[in-house]
Structure 1
Amino acid sequence: MPERMLTLADVAEVLDITVPTARALVRQGEIKGFQVGGRGMWRVESKELDAYIEREKAAATARREALHEN
């Protein structure tokens, strides 16, 4: 089955952020995406968004654990 492609608006909705913030995350490489079409609209594979969410969860857990160690 083909991977679902998300727009920046989709990414923003899932993460509860603004579209410009989603665009910045993609441009900075935090979320892997690619540009399509003549106007360079961004698309993100759903698995890439899932991977970003998992990395953020792991980082948050590590920060919490570090706070409890001190």
Structure 2
Amino acid sequence: MPEPRFLLLSDVATELNVSDSQVYHMVRSGELPAIKIGGRGQWRVERSQLEKYIQERYAETAVWVRDNPLADREAE
């Protein structure tokens, strides 16, 4: 069975291991692209957008790690 194209915010929260409210904030701030559908305006995140978001966070983290190396610990 193929994976659904669009995810509920709760599904995104599960994928990222964060709270539903954190995902809602990410969507409302524009950090994570999403659409509102239906008469009640329910949020949906396209799986490809979630994967793109994850890859962007990996790239940002790699830059941060490069720019913030661990300090060498002296032998104790």
TM-score, with length taken from structure 2: 0.82
Give 1:40 deviation, angstroms. 1.1
**2:53 is equivalent to residue 39 of structure 1:** no
Secondary structure of the residue aligned to 1:55 is helix
Number of aligned residues:
67
Structure 2 unaligned regions, length at least 5 = 72-76
Stretches of 4+ aligned residues off by more than 2 angstroms: none
Indicate the residue corresponding to 2:50 in structure 1: 49
| Higher percent of residues as helix | 1
2:74 maps to what in 1?
Answer: none
Q: State the 1:63 CA deviation.
A: 0.4
Unmatched tracts of structure 1, length 5 or more: none
Indicate the SS of the match to 1:54. Answer: helix
Work out which of the two has the higher radius of gyration on C-alpha atoms and give 1 or 2: 2
Equivalent-residue separation in structure 2 for 1:57 and 1:30 (angstroms)? 15
**Does 1:10 pair with 2:44?**
no
Q: TM-score when scaled to structure 1? A: 0.89
CA-atom RMSD in angstroms: 1.5
